[in-house]
């Protein structure tokens, strides 16, 4: 029978695809759209990393390599985790993958069985839901409240735990909210996981993009017991402006990592070998370019939040990542093209058509009254885009 699998039929295409298509359509009409929908740093990969890659190619690092990554790379990851995250891992507890997305996918496929529940605090990154579904699991969405700065709601999370709970997947600093979970909150979460015997999956890809003296805390650093039930996913993508290189990893309990490697041995094989060598350079290199990138993001963050609040949007100051999530409900009941604006999809469409700015409707992240603005764009473009937005808002009936 020429039918596609139920698995494939159940996959929801990325919520941002429709937006990308509309942006392309407007561009074809000669309209320039300022992109605030971007999920990657607008900086180049630092030169020392690019040089390390070229050197690796010239030295012939162009063949297959060990499935979980070459040993020098896994050692570099372990050193990084010990130095920056205060967790001790051995190379056998690390699997290097094609970005954090691949690492998270492998992890979920390895621990989730049919009907297992995975708790996802929302707003959250869209791919989590589909990854859990692909593994046959059931995503259990637990909202974080905007009035609490989108912090984890421990009571609501506790209420969502059932005998079928297999894991809780969280992301700090958070995409899309920019929330950073405190050590105290993460300790309480770890207690809950130990008591109810579920895994923790910590997505730490934005750990270096953190502001106002906030400190990123890795839940796996709490104790050996917590380390044994935690999968820490991370990547070089956002921290080193290396999104296109596809380099990330997961660190976790050895027996599970062995299975993740087995899975990867039948799918990816290994991350591009010379990218692995460039990744060693990234993990061990100087941090000044990264520090400068973070300082620039910080400048833009403050500017964007101030402008949005001036315009009448309620916008909290996020503590991490490179997104802000203003609440757009102040525009509800106003009319654009004769139609009432009544949700974030309508507002995103208005912003695109009338202000020529692409922003992702919060509905894509289960935040129906918010809109996600990425400030991974130049201050000049941010200024122009926000001027256009302010002017467009004034025209609403």
Ligand X SMILES: Cc1ncc(COP(=O)(O)O)c(C=O)c1O
Binding test (CB under 6 A) with ligand X, winner from 77, 100, 131, 352:
100
Binding test (CB under 6 A) with ligand X, winner from 74, 101, 166, 227:
101
With respect to ligand X, which residue has the nearer C-beta, 68 or 346? Answer: 68
The least distance separating ligand X from the CB of residue 169, rounded to whole angstroms, comes to: 10
Binding test (CB under 6 A) with ligand X, winner from 125, 245, 249, 350:
125
With respect to ligand X, which residue has the nearer C-beta, 69 or 248? Answer: 248
261 burial type by CB count under 10 A (0-12 exposed, 13-18 middle, 19+ buried): buried
Collapsed DSSP state (helix, strand, coil) of residue 152: coil
CA Rg value for the chain: 21
Binding test (CB under 6 A) with ligand X, winner from 41, 46, 91, 248:
248
Q: Provide the terminal-to-terminal Cα distance of the chain, rounded to the nearest Å.
A: 54
The least distance separating ligand X from the CB of residue 21, rounded to whole angstroms, comes to: 19
Q: Interaction with ligand X in 369-388: which residues (CB under 6 A)?
A: none
Distant-in-sequence contacts of 57-62, Cβ < 8 A, 24+ apart: 57/274, 61/273, 61/274, 61/276, 61/277, 62/273, 62/274
Would you tell me how many other CB atoms lie within 10 Å of the CB of residue 233?
A: 27
Q: Residue 116 gets which letter from DSSP?
A: -
Name 236's Cβ contacts closer than 8 Å, sequence gap at least 6: 242, 245, 247, 248, 279, 282, 283
Q: What x-and-dash track marks residues 225-244 binding ligand X by CB under 6 A? A: ----------x-x-----x-
Residue with the CB atom nearest ligand X in the bound state: 99
With respect to ligand X, which residue has the nearer C-beta, 336 or 365? Answer: 365
320 is a site residue for ligand X (CB under 6 A): no
What crossing angle do the helices spanning 379-394 and 344-355 adopt, rounded to 10°?
A: 110
Name 95's Cβ contacts closer than 8 Å, sequence gap at least 6: 68, 69, 103, 106, 249, 250, 251, 257, 260, 261, 264
Residue at token pair 């609440």: 327
With respect to ligand X, which residue has the nearer C-beta, 228 or 243? Answer: 243
Binding test (CB under 6 A) with ligand X, winner from 205, 220, 257, 359:
205
Q: Interaction with ligand X in 27-86: which residues (CB under 6 A)?
A: 39
Q: Interaction with ligand X in 161-190: which residues (CB under 6 A)?
A: 171, 175
322 is a site residue for ligand X (CB under 6 A): no
Q: How many residues bind ligand X (CB under 6 A)?
A: 13
Residues that bind ligand X (CB under 6 A): 39, 99-101, 125, 171, 175, 203, 205, 235, 237, 243, 248
């Amino acid at each position: 029978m020429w039918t596609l699998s139920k698995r494939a039929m159940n996959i929801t295409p990325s919520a941002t695809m429709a937006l990308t298509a509309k942006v392309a359509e407007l561009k074809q009409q000669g309209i320039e759209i300022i992109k605030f929908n971007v999920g990657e740093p607008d900086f180049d990969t630092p030169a020392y990393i690019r040089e390390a890659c070229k050197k690796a190619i010239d030295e012939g690092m162009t063949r297959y390599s060990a499935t979980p990554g070459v040993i020098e790379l896994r050692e570099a990851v372990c050193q990084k985790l010990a130095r920056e995250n205060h967790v001790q891992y051995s190379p056998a507890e690390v699997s290097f993958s094609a970005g954090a997305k691949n690492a998270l996918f492998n992890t979920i496929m390895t621990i989730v069985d049919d009907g297992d529940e995975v708790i996802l605090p929302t707003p959250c990154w869209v791919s989590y839901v589909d990854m859990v579904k692909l593994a046959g699991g059931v995503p259990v969405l637990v909202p974080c409240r905007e009035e609490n700065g989108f912090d984890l709601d421990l009571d609501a999370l506790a209420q969502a735990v059932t005998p079928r709970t297999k894991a809780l997947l969280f992301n700090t600093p958070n995409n899309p909210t920019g929330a950073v979970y405190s050590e105290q909150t993460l300790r309480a979460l770890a207690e809950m996981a130990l008591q109810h015997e579920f895994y923790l999956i910590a997505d730490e890809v934005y750990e270096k993009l953190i502001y106002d003296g906030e400190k990123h805390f890795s839940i796996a650093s709490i104790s050996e017991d917590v380390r044994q039930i935690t999968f820490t996913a991370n990547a070089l993508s956002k921290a080193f402006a290396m999104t296109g290189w596809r380099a990330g990893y997961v660190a976790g309990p050895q027996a599970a990592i062995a299975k993740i490697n087995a899975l990867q041995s039948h799918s990816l094989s290994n991350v591009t070998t010379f990218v692995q060598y460039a990744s060693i350079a990234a993990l061990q290199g100087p941090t000044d370019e990264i520090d400068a990138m973070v300082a620039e993001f910080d400048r833009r963050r403050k500017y964007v939040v101030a402008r949005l609040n001036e315009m009448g949007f309620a916008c909290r100051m996020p503590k991490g990542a490179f997104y802000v999530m203003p609440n757009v409900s102040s525009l509800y009941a106003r009319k654009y093209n004769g139609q009432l604006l009544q949700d974030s999809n309508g507002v995103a469409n208005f912003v695109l058509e009338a202000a020529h700015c692409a922003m992702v409707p919060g509905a894509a992240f289960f935040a129906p009254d918010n809109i996600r603005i990425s400030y991974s764009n130049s201050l000049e473009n941010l200024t122009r885009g926000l001027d256009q937005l302010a002017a467009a808002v004034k025209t609403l009936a």
